Structures are given as structure tokens and as C-alpha cells.
Structure 1
Amino acid sequence: MRVILTRPAHSNERTARKLTALGHEPLLLPLTEPVHDLDAALRALAQSRGALAVTSAEAIRVLEALGSELTRHLQRPLFAVGRSTADHAAGIGFANAFRSDGDGSELADLIDRQRALLAGLPLTYLAGWPRAEGFEARLQEHGIAVTTVEAYRMRDVNPAEEVLRRLFIEQKTDAVLLYSSYATTRLFGLLALPEFETSLRSMHLYCLSEQIAAAVPPALRPRAIVAAKPTEECLLGLIGKSAPLQF
């Protein structure tokens, strides 16, 4: 299948390799790019002593960019969403990296179960913008103190109209992978013309979560297919297994 990827370039390339290995043809369409705030991350680490939390691999890339300044913090517990993010954290030296296999809410539940690792200190959340609210909201439900620091922001990437026409109109494309509500909203804003909607009605819209599917325009929401769990493995496993679209 020919599959459009809407993640930032670094993540797109990693997912593209996975799709190629599965026999699919990835088509890259990054809609955002990260802007790191290394000073904010460094201040957050210097002004705190307890456990750390991240809900994206981008936050780990921010920490990695700190170089030797990170060394003194590598013994701190770090909680991450997803195997790949936790593995990346371990790969840059974190000795105590813990992961949830679900979304941010599940990570907050894990932290609650491992509350002893907080040692009575506030959790430091190295976050991005924009971000989903589930992680911080669930921490509040558990009564876990958290200091949120925006270590990076996502900046819009504006693809040329001819690129959009080529991907969505001029050639047959089978599916789009949607990883975030923000990128999903951006994509359909860029494609807000009847000719694009006609093409989209012939595609599968694979969504990482129900929240992301809710960002798909109502007219196209029946084309949205949601992963059973919000992991890339589950999302990629949907490709090619969906029932044919009905028109």
C-alpha cells in the first residue's frame, strides 16, 4: 500500500523504514518540525531533584542534545510513554527508565503505582507544545505533584500545493497515518477543498487514538480506523487488514 506519513521528519524517516520492511511504500509529508528549548530543559533539571517524565521521543532528543550537562541526572528515574522512547532514554544513559505501553493517562497510572520512586518530590514533566491533556489531568486525579516544562515546541511546516495535489489527487494513495490531533487538524485544514475530499474518501485514515480520530472532519470520520492501543505497532498492524471502503 502507498501510505502518507504526517509526522515530523525525524519520526517520519523511522516509521518509513518500518513501512518499507512491511512491504508498503511510504510517502513523507511532515506537517510540523520541533524547535528545542535547551535552556528551559537545563533549568528544569538544575532546579529539580526527583523523577522525570516524558510523553514523546522528542523530549528525549532534547535531553540528548544537552550532552555532558545531562550526565549528573542520568540516575534519576525517568517515566516514558512507549517502548521506543524508553529504549531511547536507556540508550543515552538513563539507568532507571520505566515505560507504559499506552497513552499519557496510562503513564500517569504507572507513576501512581510506582509512587515510591518519586521520594516525596514533585515529578518534572519535560513536555512539548501542543500536547494532549490526558497525562497531566490523570496526575492531578492521582494527587501527584508535577512541574511541567515546555522543552520543545512544534512549528508548522507548510507543504507546497503541488506536493499536496501530487500526493492526494494525481497519484493513487491508499492510506494516511495520523499520529496527533494537531497534525490531523492541520492536514485537513490544508485539504479543505472539494477535490481533496473526493480523493480522501477513497483512502483509509489510520489513527493512533480515538482523540485523533475525533479531529478528522465529520464527513470523513467513517474512514477513520483507530488502533486498538495507542502504539505504533498496533497502528502499523492495521495497514492492509482493513475492510474495503464502501462508497
Structure 2
Amino acid sequence: MQVVVTRPQNAAVRTARKLEALGHETRLLSLAAPEHDVEALKSALAVRHSAIAITSAEVARLFGMVGETLDRHLLTTVFSVGRASAQAAGEAGFRTVLTPEGDGRDLANMIIGHCRDFGMPAEPILYLAGNPRAPAFEARLKEEGIPFRTVECYRMAPRIPKRSETEAALLRPVPDAVLFYSRETARTFFELPPLIEMPERFLSTLMLCMSPNVARGVPQRFAALTVVAIAPNEESLLDLL
């Protein structure tokens, strides 16, 4: 299959390797780019906290940008969504990284269970977040009265590719499938000129989404072609191919 990957460039390259190993042809069309705030991360770490929570591998990659600032925090427990985030946190040097199978709500439930077993933390959990992000993680912790502090360390800025890049990825020829990892990226994709000017050309293209929330960014006209992964992780997404 000919598959378009819409992730940010660094992550897209890793996904492309996986797809090629599975025998697919890959085209990269990155529709977002991370903007890191290293100083926000340093300042966040300087304030007392009981544990760290992350819901994106992008935050975990930031750990490698703060140098020795991280050293005295490596014994802090990290609660992480997804294998990629957990692996990146482990590679940064954190000794204890706990991760559930699932999404932000599942991570919140893990933390809630941890607090029931070991008691409420004396200091808030530090949630190192991005913008935009899904609200489920923070909402669930608030429901249960778990103390936490959210600090935004990066934002995903929309990236509008040149028309020549877009047409090369989408029209030569039209792909069999497109992979979507975020709702915002899906929205950006359907605002690209080929999708606005000739949407009928894509009525045989599978729109593969990592979660129901991501799928909400796909217009209704493509609903019959939209498929959602069983679990919100890349392994389940690629299983759809």
C-alpha cells in the first residue's frame, strides 16, 4: 500500500521505517512541527513535586535538552502514556517509568490507583504537557481530587507544506491510506488544496486514526473511509493497514 504519514518530521521518519519493513510505500507529509520551551521545563522541575506525568513522547525528548538540570530528578517516578513516551523517559535516565495501555484517561486512572494504594502525595504531580492536548487526563485527576500542576513545555504548530510538496505526496498517485495521530493534524490535512479542490479523488483513500478523538477531525463526507485503531498507540494504528 502507498501510505501518507502526517506526523512531525522526526517521528515520521521512524514510522516510515516501520512501514517499509512491512512492505508498504511511504510518503512523508508533516503537518505539524514542535516548538519547545526548555526554560519552562527547567522552571517546572525546580518547583517541588511528588511525581512527573507525561502524555507525549515530545515532552520526553525535551528531557535531553536540559542537561544536568535533570540529574537530581532521575529517581522521581514518571507516569507516562504510551511505549514511545516511556521508552524516551527511560533513555533520559529515569529509573521508574510506569505506563498503562491506553490514553490519558487510562494514565489518570493508573495514578488514582497508585494514590489509593500508597496515599495522596504530599506534593502535586507535575504534568509536563503540550498544546494542544486532550482534556481527559486533567479532568479525571480533578474528579478524584488528585493534586497536580500543569506546565506547558511545547506546542505543536501547524505546518502548511508547499503546494508542490502536497501534490507530490497526495496526487502522484493518490495514496491508499493516510495515517492521523492528532485531531489538529487531521483538520489541517483536509484544508490542503487537493482536498478542497478535488475531494472526490480521495473517496477510496482510507483515513486511519489513532483514536476516536482524532477521527473527529475527519469531515463527515469521508466517514465511510475512516477507521479507528483498537488502542490509541502506533502499533494498533499500523495494524489497520
Match of 1:200 among 199, 202, 205: 202
Alignment of 1:71-90 (within 5 A): 71-90=71-90
Q: Mind listing any 5+ residue stretches in structure 1 that lack a counterpart?
A: 240-247
The secondary structure found in structure 2 opposite 1:114 is helix
- Are the structure 2 counterparts of residues 170 and 51 from structure 1 closer, same or farther at C-alpha, using a change threshold of 3 Å? same
Alignment of 1:1-247 (within 5 A): 1-115=1-115, 116=118, 119-191=121-193, 192-195=195-198, 197-239=199-241
The secondary structure found in structure 2 opposite 1:100 is coil
Provide TM-score, normalisation by structure 2: 0.95
CA contact (8 A) 2:112 2:144 kept: yes
Deviation at 1:14, TM superposition (A): 1.0
Stretch of structure 1 that moved more, 157-166 or 209-218: 157-166
Deviation at 1:141, TM superposition (A): 1.6
Q: CA RMSD in A?
A: 1.3
The secondary structure found in structure 1 opposite 2:4 is strand
Q: Determine the C-alpha separation between the residues in 1 that align with 2:126 and 2:120.
A: 10
Q: Determine the C-alpha separation between the residues in 2 that align with 1:79 and 1:151.
A: 16
CA contact (8 A) 1:51 1:118 kept: no
Deviation at 1:120, TM superposition (A): 2.7
AA partner of residue 178 (structure 2): V
CA contact (8 A) 1:214 1:221 kept: no
Q: Determine the C-alpha separation between the residues in 2 that align with 1:199 and 1:57.
A: 34
Percent sequence identity over matched residues?
A: 41
CA-to-partner distance for each residue in 1:141-161, whole Å, 9 max, x for gaps? 221111100001112221111
Q: Mind listing any 5+ residue stretches in structure 2 that lack a counterpart?
A: none
Q: Determine the C-alpha separation between the residues in 1 that align with 2:169 and 2:61.
A: 30
Show structure 1 runs of 4+ deviating over 4 A. none
Provide TM-score, normalisation by structure 1: 0.93
AA partner of residue 187 (structure 1): F
Q: Determine the C-alpha separation between the residues in 1 that align with 2:62 and 2:31.
A: 20
Q: Determine the C-alpha separation between the residues in 2 that align with 1:26 and 1:65.
A: 30
Q: Determine the C-alpha separation between the residues in 1 that align with 2:228 and 2:210.
A: 6
Deviation at 1:165, TM superposition (A): 2.0
Q: Determine the C-alpha separation between the residues in 2 that align with 1:112 and 1:28.
A: 39
Deviation at 1:49, TM superposition (A): 2.7
CA-to-partner distance for each residue in 1:27-56, whole Å, 9 max, x for gaps? 101111111101100100001231000000
Deviation at 1:238, TM superposition (A): 0.7
- Are the structure 2 counterparts of residues 117 and 2 from structure 1 closer, same or farther at C-alpha, using a change threshold of 3 Å? farther
